[in-house]
Amino acid sequence: MRNAVVGSAKAARSVTRFGRAPPVTKNLRKDPRSGLPQPHVPIITRQYAPCRLEDYYYSTLQDDLMYLTYKHQSGDRPPPRQIRLTFDPNDPYSKFRHNPPVGGSQIGKKPAPPSTPENVVRLEKISLHTMVKEAVANRSSLLPAIMQLRALTGETHQGGGRHAVEGIQIVKGKKSVGGWIRPGIPIGVKVDLKGQAMYDFLGTLVEFVLPRLRDFNGVILPPQSSSTTSPSAVSGVVSFGLPPSAMVFFPQIEVNVDSYPKTYGMHIHFVTNATGQGAQDRARALVSGFQIPFLRR
């Protein structure tokens, strides 16, 4: 009887409260540069709270998207049609000849992978991108944009000991455009959000920002006559932009708008795992499932 009481008391011990830290018997080695103690193992932070939108995806949205985007296919797919002779390196005629790719760009012609429960469309990452034109002349004008993205996302370089988290990145010019941009000069900032941070940002955007934008009725869809084989139509990315005036509706910025000399707009890219023909439609179905409205002009 007594044992049972003790046992139940042990079982009732809280698993979310922590007692006193163990006494330090041996000091950790210190980093010579920073003077900070270094643990024996790399410490990585993982998910620290249940994620509402992720649960919503797995309990509701995923099933619906699978049914919505399902394409029936009986048996194996026929092999692609061989429209030209294939290059045979052993053939003395073609042995030393140039072997150009034939049939033009194949980007938009790849069919979508077969519908399976494993490749139901899902959100891989959200990419936020801001271009600051003034940074061409004065690179310190990137600072407010960096601060803005940091406040919005809380991302830092290798934050939480995760080497794949890149934090806020500086975007540099790629090529020379006369009088405007030169290769290698910092011109903008971007951040990639994944996992919990991604869903948190999405929730904030949908619940606090979009409903308060006065002249925003939805993301404008391209006209029906637009190409279905363009790279953007088959890459499974949904993009839209927010003007500088929309930034004040993010609670993270709203709380101290006066601290920013200027707010900058940003592009938001929802990157999904959809590929092949019709990928953007599937990506839109997913994103609209997270309550981002779409509008046809």
Partner 1 sequence: MHSRNAARCITRRLAAESPLACSFRRSLATEAQSIPESSTASSALSTAPVRSKRPPRPQISTAVVLNRSPLLTRTPSPFENAYYAYQARIRRALHNPFPYDFYFKQGSLLETRFNMEEKAREWKAFGRDFVEEEFVSEEKAAADKAAVEQLAQQEGEGEELLPRQHEADATGNRKSLDRQGKRNLYLLLQASENGKDVWRFPQGGVEKGDLLHQAAQKDLYAECGEHMDSWIVSRNPIGVYKPQQPSASAGEAQPEHAVFFFKGHILAGQVRPQGPAIKDFAWLTKQEIEPLVEKDYWEGIKDVLSDY
Residues that bind partner 1 (CB under 8 A): 15-21, 43, 45-50, 52, 55-56, 58-60, 63-64, 67-68, 70-75, 147, 156, 159-161, 255-256, 259
Q: Which is nearer to partner 1, 27 or 45 (CB)?
A: 45
- Closest among 30, 240, 235 to 129, alpha carbons compared: 240
Q: Are 114 and 74 within 8 A, CB to CB? A: no
Least distance between partner 1 and beta carbon 151 (Å): 9
CB of 272 to partner 1, least distance (A): 19
Strand ranges (E), the chain: 123-131, 169-172, 186-193, 219-221, 237-242, 266-272, 294-296
**Least distance to partner 1, CB of residue 107, Å:** 25
Cβ 49 to partner 1 shortest distance, Å: 6
Give the full edge-to-edge strand order of the sheet including 186-193: 169-172, 186-193, 123-131, 266-272, 237-242
Select 74 or 105, whichever has its Cβ closest to partner 1: 74
Q: In the complex with partner 1, which residue's Cβ is closer, 151 or 221?
A: 151
Closest distance to partner 1 from the beta carbon of 18 (Å): 6
User: CB of 250 within 8 A of CB of 152?
Assistant: yes
- 142 sits in the region (left: phi over 0; alpha: psi -120 to 50; else beta) called alpha
Q: Is 7 exposed, middle or buried (0-12, 13-18, 19+ CB in 10 A)?
A: exposed
Min dist. Cβ of residue 260 to partner 1 (A) = 10
| CA separation for the pair 71, 266 (Å, rounded) | 35
| CB of residue 16 to partner 1, shortest distance in Å | 4
CA dist 146 to 131, 139, 153, 252, Å?
Answer: 11, 12, 11, 14
User: Which of 67, 87 has the CB closer to partner 1?
Assistant: 67
For partner 1, give the closer residue by CB, 13 or 26.
Answer: 13
Nearest to partner 1 of 15, 85 (CB atom): 15
220: Cβ contacts below 8 Å, ≥ 6 apart: 295, 296, 297
DSSP classification of residue 256: T
Q: Please, which residue, 115 or 239, has the CB nearer to partner 1?
A: 115
